[in-house]
């Protein structure tokens, strides 16, 4: 009788333990909502990835090529159904989502397909920090928020500074807390055809997620930026702390190296990811890679997404789990 009782107690303790660790596993990880997926051509669907701790209502927007249209498309796809919006009778639902869900901006570089949505929404959504490397902020300051291209709504540059946005300079390799999100980020420079772009390692406790802005392969860029980045994240892969990567693949394999302009093809992306796997020194089978920044094609035939996915799958000897980003998609890593 007593041994049966002991077995019952043991069973329930184990069940509670399993439930607890399942809940714990659920609390970890990240949720990515694709507000804009493409790397050009399609206005209303340009690079913007909302990153939240899994289960959180609020997060940071990684690049901001599209903001309002992306929020509307994601809401139509029911990505925000479970969010508890604060009571705000003065705002429409889209307004309330934009004000509440996006707490801050991380900009990889200041090309239009990464900032146009932020510029467009800026007069009506003030007060959010903009984090970027100094080179990126100086382009924002001198060439965008400058009272010529757009009013200077930020807090430095051409006078009068209207002060609706605060620029936060990131130092490469140094962690900053992202206001209002529970997340922190470290910036690493990338080479993008002569322009400095940025990778962000975003962390929630010991969990991490890597986002890369536009980048070409090291060989074509005559750079070591990706090699250096892979060395930084390799220990996190070995420790199972890195949950996934968002990385670009702008063109298919028919694009010549001379015409890459600081971007990737499937062949180059596969080479770089193999280099990451070798640097980590562990298998990366089923490791999630969200493929971003595909440039839509205006020529007849298969859409760019289909060609790029087929070429990635055909050369995927390491077994990465490639997911092609689409506007309104919600991915959990
Ligand atoms: Zn771009």
262 CA to centre of ligand 1 in angstroms: 9
Compute, in angstroms, the gap from residue 8 CA to the centroid of ligand 1: 59
Cα 293 to middle of ligand 1, angstroms: 7
The whole-number pLDDT of residue 8 equals: 62
The CA distances from residue 305 to 42, 73, 241, in Å, are 14, 19, 29
- pLDDT > 50? residue 226: yes
Residues bordering ligand 1, an ion, CB closer than 5 Å: 39, 111, 113, 214
Q: What is the pTM of this model?
A: 0.91
In this prediction, residues 54-59 reach a mean pLDDT of 95
- Where does residue 172 rank: exposed (0-12), middle (13-18), buried (19+ CB within 10 A)? middle
* Centre of ligand 1 from the C-alpha of residue 287, in Å: 24
- Please report the pLDDT score of residue 223 as a whole number: 98
Q: How far is the CA of 291 from the centre of ligand 1 (A)?
A: 13
Two tokens, residue 315 = 């050369």
d(CA 113, CA 98): 19
Q: What is the mean pLDDT of residues 56-81?
A: 98
Q: How buried is residue 1: exposed, middle or buried, by Cβ count under 10 Å (0-12/13-18/19+)?
A: exposed
Q: Tell me: the pLDDT tens digits for 163-202?
A: 999 999 999 999 999 999 999 999 999 999 999 999 999 9
CA of 114 from ligand 1 middle (Å) equals 6
For 88-101, write each residue's pLDDT tens digit.
999 999 999 999 99
Q: What pLDDT is stored for residue 270 in this prediction? A: 98
User: Domains (ranges, CATH) in the chain?
Assistant: 30-332 (3.60.15.10)
The residue length of the chain stands at 333
Q: How confident is the model at residue 20 (pLDDT cuts 50, 70, 90)?
A: very low
What distance in angstroms lies between residue 1's CA and the mean position of ligand 1's atoms? Answer: 69
Could you give the residue ranges of the DSSP H alpha helices within the chain?
Answer: 2-27, 68-76, 93-101, 112-121, 134-139, 218-221, 225-238, 266-280, 304-314
pLDDT digits (tens, 9 = 90+) for 116-165: 999 999 999 999 999 999 999 999 999 999 999 999 999 999 999 999 99
pLDDT at 200: 98
Q: Average pLDDT in the 271-292 region?
A: 98
CA of 140 to the centre of ligand 1 (A): 15
Q: What is the mean pLDDT of residues 52-72?
A: 97
Residue 21 has pLDDT above 60, yes or no: no
Q: How far is the CA of 7 from the centre of ligand 1 (A)?
A: 60
Question: Are 212 and 190 contacting, i.e. CB atoms less than 8 angstroms apart?
Answer: yes
| Amino acid 176: pLDDT | 98
Span from the CA of 173 to the centroid of ligand 1 (angstroms): 23
Measure 17 CA to ligand 1 centroid, in angstroms. Answer: 46
pLDDT of 75 reads: 98
Closest by Cα among 203, 312, 182 to 247: 312
**Which of 7-11, 13-17, 28-32 has the weakest average pLDDT?**
13-17
- Average pLDDT on 235-259 reads 97
- Say if residue 321's pLDDT is above 70: yes
State the average pLDDT for the chain.
93
What percent of the chain clears pLDDT 90, i.e. is strictly above it? Answer: 91
Q: Is 70 exceeded by the pLDDT of residue 28? A: no
Which residue has 């009506």 as its token pair? 124
Q: Output the CA 16–ligand 1 centroid distance in Å.
A: 48
- The answer to whether the beta carbons of residues 138 and 156 sit under 8 Å apart is no
pLDDT at 36: 98
Tokens of 325: 């980003």
> Residue written as tokens 């490397």?
133
Report the separation in Å between the CA atom of 5 and the middle of ligand 1, taken as the mean of its atom positions.
64
Cβ-based neighbours of 266, under 8 Å, separated by 6 or more: 249, 252, 253, 308, 311, 312, 315
Cα-Cα-Cα-Cα torsion 183, 188, 191, 195, nearest 10 degrees, comes to: 70
| pLDDT of 9 over the 70 cut | no
β-sheet bridge partners, residue 212? 199
């Amino acid at each position: 009788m007593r041994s049966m009782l002991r077995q019952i107690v043991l069973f329930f303790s184990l069940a509670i333990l399993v439930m607890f660790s399942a809940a714990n596993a659920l609390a970890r990880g990240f949720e990515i909502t694709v507000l804009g997926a493409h790397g050009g051509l399609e206005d209303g669907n340009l690079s913007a990835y909302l990153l939240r701790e899994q289960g959180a209502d609020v997060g940071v927007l990684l690049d901001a090529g599209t903001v309002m249209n992306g929020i509307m498309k994601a809401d139509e796809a029911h990505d925000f159904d479970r969010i508890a919006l604060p009571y705000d009778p003065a705002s429409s639902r889209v307004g309330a989502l934009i004000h509440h869900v996006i707490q801050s901006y991380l900009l990889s570089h200041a090309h239009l397909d990464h900032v146009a949505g932020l510029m467009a929404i800026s007069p009506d959504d003030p007060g959010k920090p903009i984090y970027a490397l100094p080179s990126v902020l100086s382009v924002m300051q001198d060439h965008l928020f400058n009272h010529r291209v757009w009013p200077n709504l930020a807090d430095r540059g051409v006078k009068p500074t209207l002060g609706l946005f605060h620029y936060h300079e990131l130092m490469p390799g140094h962690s900053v807390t992202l206001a209002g999100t529970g997340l922190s980020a470290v910036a690493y420079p990338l080479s993008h055809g002569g322009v400095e772009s940025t990778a962000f390692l975003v962390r929630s406790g010991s969990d991490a997620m890597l986002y890369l802005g536009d980048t070409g392969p090291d060989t074509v860029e005559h750079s070591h930026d990706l090699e250096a980045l892979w060395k930084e994240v390799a220990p996190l892969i070995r420790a199972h702390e890195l949950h996934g990567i968002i990385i670009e693949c702008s063109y298919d394999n028919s694009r010549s190296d001379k015409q890459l302009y600081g971007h990737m093809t499937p062949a180059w992306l596969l080479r770089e990811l193999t280099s990451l796997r070798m640097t980590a020194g562990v298998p990366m089978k089923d490791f999630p890679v969200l493929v971003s920044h595909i440039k839509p094609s205006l020529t007849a035939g298969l859409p760019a997404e289909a060609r790029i996915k087929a070429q990635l799958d055909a050369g995927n000897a390491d077994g990465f789990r490639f997911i092609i980003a689409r506007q309104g998609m919600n991915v959990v890593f």
